[in-house]
Amino acid sequence: MKRTEIKSLLSTAPEEQTVTVMGWVRNFRSNRFIILNDGSTINDLQVVVDFENFDENLLHQIKTGSSIKATGKLVASQGSGQAVELICEELHLFGAADASEYKLQPKQHSLEFLREQAHFRMRTKTFGAVFRIRHAIAYAIHKYYNDRGYYYLHAPIITGSDAEGAGEMFHVTTFEPNEAPLNEDGSINYKEDFFGKATNLTVSGQLQAEAGALALGKVYTFGPTFRAENSNTTRHLAEFWMIEPEVAFFDITDNMDLAEDFVKYLINYVLDNYPDDLAVLDQRIQQLEKNMKTEDRRPMGLIETLRFVVDNEFERITYTEAINILRNSKPYKKGKFQYDVEWGKDLQSEHERYLVEKKFSKPVIVVDYPKDIKAFYMRLNEDGKTVAAMDVLFPGIGEVIGGSQREERLENLLARMEEMDIPEEELWWYLELRKFGSVPHAGFGLGFERMVLFITGMGNIRDVIPFPRTPKSAEF
RNA sequence: UCCUCCUUAGCUCAGUUGGUUAGAGCGGUUGACUGUUAAUCAAUAGGUCCUUGGUUCGAGUCCAAGAGGAGGAGCCA
């Protein structure tokens, strides 16, 4: 079917050329103006109909949500709300949308309500913008790494090891519940299962990415990951996407440089290529905050915030410095923190938020954490107490990136695994990477949805993935 | 998993110290309208007050349990 997309029409000089458009009706005003959107852009095309030229029954079915084809002449608009419009000569209805039943009517809907209408919510301006930007970020990720000589490595979705330590896992099995063969001690005999062993959905592609980096030099993974944690927050999903670059001959400083350059590139890409979508999301937030108290409002608008992040260096501090800053902070001295600040304990959300939002007012990278609160594969520093781990903290979201220089020395890795009770047999192949041609290397994981959350300015991670998977929720 | 709050019309919400026939705006429907911008105007329909049990002469309102949702915490990305 031949059609012209509204995106290209809106940037075309109107010369009474005949064009055909197809899309979904947003509104039909004054028995004369069809507001049409086809998803190619956030902006709509106004289709002008002269009701004397069309069948009354046909016009009667032009309702919000119905889908049509319109052919006519593109002209300069007489109205002030748009530059061009289509004078309709032929009109065809693809699919009606009974207004008495269709849930998305021309009015404000709450995000919670639209979450229950996930199959339709992409037709709204807000979610249209969110998912166009989500696409843009995904594309920019591949472009960034490809342009710099990285290889896209596909890590497995089903994994055989459960020693990655990144959270509760979803089991993968072909056994029917209650019909699984048992061992003599009553445990399930996975030797008879599909893979001949217990398997799970991946929680991270990092270990496999390390194998890739130690052959291809620079790799990244970008795929879905799964966590069966019972997390009910605006920042967690049971199924989410993660980007994990892994680079040979990289130390922790190289790793921080990459992380900062990478996220700035993503933000710049969206600023440069999706200004209309960002503007609508920006306005939406301002509208929302109009009735809020000044102290509850965001310090800057969305686009302003994004520009600020790309124009400023991220603050880089060590964990030890962070602890000192926190212990000398006003909220600490006044006893405002709910959790204690003590070297050796992990930073709590309230502490991270103080550093990012109050102390530095910009993204912060914290490095060199105590070894006991970090994963087994992170490289031990000279001091013997800390590891070369880094977290990138963003305002409003917290941890967006977690990464480290990996322990490439076999004896150190074995010692850590023993301390943390991680069975060597499970990770024999990971250990062999250290036995044969081991090199210093580093990498990190970026939570894709958290990045989309930050760039779109949305408040809930369930609103930046098309069909969210959270505890007690897997509709659609 | 823990804490707090919420659940009344399609949506967003009001509903007084427990009291007789549960309201508004938006949306819908019907009609009018050939330059509207969330069009406007007129008329009109629409309710298992989340579920179950309890207290009471009487429960949308009070109590208990359950279900669902939201926010925060923990865990993390």
Q: What is the CATH number of the domain that holds A434?
A: 3.30.930.10
**Parallel, antiparallel, or unpaired: how do β-strands A364-370 and A315-318 relate?**
parallel
| Length A322 CA → B73 C1' (Å) | 21
Question: How much is the pLDDT for A164?
Answer: 61
Residue A376 sits in the same domain as residue A241: yes
Question: How much is the pLDDT for A165?
Answer: 63
Question: How much is the pLDDT for A2?
Answer: 93
User: Which of A244, A252, A206 minimizes the C-alpha distance to A368?
Assistant: A252
Residue A50 sits in the same domain as residue A136: no
How crowded is residue A93: how many other Cβ atoms within 10 Å of its Cβ? 15
Residue A300 lies in a domain: yes
Neighbouring residues of A76: CB distance < 8 A, sequence distance ≥ 6:
A14, A83, A84, A85
- Chain B bases near protein CB atoms (7 A cut-off): 1-3, 10-13, 26-29, 32-39, 68-77
Q: Range of A440's domain?
A: 125-167+203-314+362-463
List strand B contacts in A 80-99 (CB < 7 A). Answer: 80-82, 85, 87, 98-99
Residue A273 sits in the same domain as residue A414: yes
| Length A101 CA → B19 C1' (Å) | 37
List strand B contacts in A 164-193 (CB < 7 A). Answer: 166-167
Under 8 Å between Cβ of A230 and A471? yes
Question: How much is the pLDDT for A281?
Answer: 94
Q: Which two tokens stand for residue A169?
A: 């896992």
Residue A353 lies in a domain: no
Question: How much is the pLDDT for A300?
Answer: 87
Residue A419 sits in the same domain as residue A281: yes
Computed over its alpha carbons, how large is the radius of gyration of chain A?
A: 27
Asked if residue A416 keeps its beta carbon closer than 7 A to nucleic acid strand B, the reply is no
The CA-atom distances, in angstroms, between A199 and each of A132, A157, A324 are 35, 10, 43
List strand B contacts in A 340-369 (CB < 7 A). Answer: 346, 348-350, 353
Residue that finishes a domain, picked among A70, A105, A140: A105
Report the complex ipTM.
Answer: 0.90
Residue A322 lies in a domain: no
Sequential pLDDT tens for chain A (476 residues) = 899 999 999 999 999 999 999 999 999 998 899 999 999 999 999 999 998 899 888 999 999 999 999 999 999 999 888 999 999 999 999 999 999 889 898 888 999 999 999 999 999 999 999 999 999 999 999 999 999 999 999 999 999 876 566 678 999 999 988 889 999 998 899 999 999 999 999 999 999 999 999 999 999 999 999 999 999 999 999 999 999 999 999 999 999 999 999 999 999 999 999 999 999 999 998 888 776 767 677 888 899 999 999 999 999 999 999 999 999 999 999 988 999 999 999 999 999 999 999 999 999 999 999 999 999 999 999 999 999 999 999 988 899 999 999 999 999 999 999 998 888 888 999 999 999 999 999 999 999 999 999 999 999 999 999 999 999 888 88
| Length A32 CA → B32 C1' (Å) | 14
Question: How much is the pLDDT for A45?
Answer: 95
Residue A294 sits in the same domain as residue A220: yes
What total number of domains does chain A contain? Answer: 2
Residue A344 lies in a domain: no
Nucleotide of closest approach to A168 (CA, C1'): B75
| Length A126 CA → B26 C1' (Å) | 19
Question: How much is the pLDDT for A160?
Answer: 85
Residue A291 lies in a domain: yes
Residue A471 lies in a domain: no
b/e map A306-329, b = 16+ CB within 10 Å: beebeeeebbbbbbbebbebbeeb
Residue A319 lies in a domain: no
Question: How much is the pLDDT for A388?
Answer: 97
Residue A395 sits in the same domain as residue A253: yes
Residue A129 sits in the same domain as residue A16: no
Residue A84, domain CATH:
2.40.50.140
Nucleotide of closest approach to A52 (CA, C1'): B34
List strand B contacts in A 242-301 (CB < 7 A). Answer: 242
List strand B contacts in A 113-152 (CB < 7 A). Answer: 113, 115
Nucleotide of closest approach to A63 (CA, C1'): B28
Q: Which two tokens stand for residue A209?
A: 């990415």
Residue A275 sits in the same domain as residue A367: yes
Residue A221 sits in the same domain as residue A274: yes
Nucleotide of closest approach to A35 (CA, C1'): B37
Nucleotide of closest approach to A100 (CA, C1'): B28
**Parallel, antiparallel, or unpaired: how do β-strands A151-152 and A158-159 relate?**
unpaired
Residue A100 sits in the same domain as residue A155: no
Residue A376 lies in a domain: yes
Asked if residue A112 keeps its beta carbon closer than 7 A to nucleic acid strand B, the reply is yes
| Length A98 CA → B46 C1' (Å) | 17
Residue A100 sits in the same domain as residue A71: yes
| Length A100 CA → B8 C1' (Å) | 21
Nucleotide of closest approach to A397 (CA, C1'): B77
The residues that bridge with A172 in the sheet, in sequence order, are: A199
Nucleotide of closest approach to A462 (CA, C1'): B70
